[in-house]
Amino acid sequence: MDEKALERELRLNQIYLAIISRYKDYIEEKEHISVAELPSLVTPKNELVMKKADEIKSSFGIFSFKSNFYEASVDSFYYVKNNVEDVALPLEFWLAPADTIKYGIGDVLDKNILLCSILIALGNPASKVLVSVNDGNRKVLTYYELDGKAYALDFANGFKKFESKELLLKSLGMTDDTIAYEFNDSLYVDIS
């Protein structure tokens, strides 16, 4: 792209930002989703999500959930971590996993919703996004249970194995004041 085209692109982006900023309140009002509606954002049957899950499965030759899911979950985590840039938009806007894949951007919740969608598409319907808020600090991660263990996939702290879900929750430092919930494509549960 030449310099004139880059300047034009920059001016267009500035206009888009001005329009978004002007209509921010209206957009956020229409974009509002309650936490109980969050499962609608987890879309493991979306074409792009299934395609990504199939790409991950294909790296194992003949994919076996029992033999390969753990490694596939690690691959999924690093796919999202390395290919989705952390971006805070100037307004509250929910991205679908397909949008996150297509544009390669999203906030921490968008990234976890995509990761959870891929893990479910890989065959683990018990994968969930976990959100905890304590003293204004929000932690978001994806986790799944497998063979009695809990695996936390956390973009801030990496991939960790726990002997149980209870130990995973304990590691988050939750107190009586913590607001916490988990969800996937089929459920939403308050856990605090």
Question: Quick check: 16 pLDDT over 70?
Answer: no
Query: In which band, very low, low, confident or very high, does the pLDDT at 15 lie, cut at 50, 70 and 90?
Result: low
pLDDT band at 176 (very low <50, low <70, confident <90, very high): confident
Q: In this predicted structure, what is the pLDDT of residue 173? A: 85
- What's the chain's average pLDDT? 88
CATH domain 38-190 topology: C8orf32 fold (3.10.620)
Q: Above 80 in pLDDT, residue 107?
A: yes
Contact 179, 167 (CB under 8 A): no
Reported in sequence order, the residue ranges of the chain that DSSP labels E, i.e. its strands, are 85-86, 105-106, 128-134, 137-146, 149-154, 158-162, 179-183, 188-190
Mean pLDDT of 144-154: 95
